[in-house]
Amino acid sequence: MQAAEVEKLVSDQLENVEVSVSVEGSHYQVVVVGDIFDGLNAVKKQQLVYGCLNAYIIDGTIHAVIIKTYTTAEWTKLQG
């Protein structure tokens, strides 16, 4: 599965997020930024993104995934 396909899976299911994916073999790093994460703890944030990818994790298309989630404010602060 290509990075663009993973980006589309997440962005189609989570509103108003920016998604960036890097791929090495079947290992994926997914960074998702959006206000959808405001007020959520780290586990809840991860669960939202895993929910978008779960079918592909179960069938082995995605073997390993690292998910990093940020609110827009957190992302802006990191970039600053």
pLDDT at 25: 83
Q: How far apart are the first and last CA of the chain?
A: 32
- Domains identified in the chain, total number: 1
Token pair 């997020």: residue: 17
**Smallest Cα–Cα separation from 34: which of 18, 22, 46?**
18
Q: Computed from CA positions of residues 36, 53, 47, 80, in that sequence, does the dihedral angle turn out positive or negative? A: negative
Q: pLDDT tens across 30-77, in order?
A: 999 999 999 999 999 999 999 999 999 999 888 899 999 999 999 999
pLDDT at 11: 97
pLDDT at 71: 96
Residue numbers of the domain that contains 30: 3-79
pLDDT at 72: 96
* Long-range contacts of the stretch 36-43 (C-beta < 8 A, 24+): 37/69, 37/70, 37/71, 38/71, 42/69
pLDDT at 65: 95
CATH of the domain at 63: 3.30.300.90
Look up the pTM and report it. Answer: 0.92
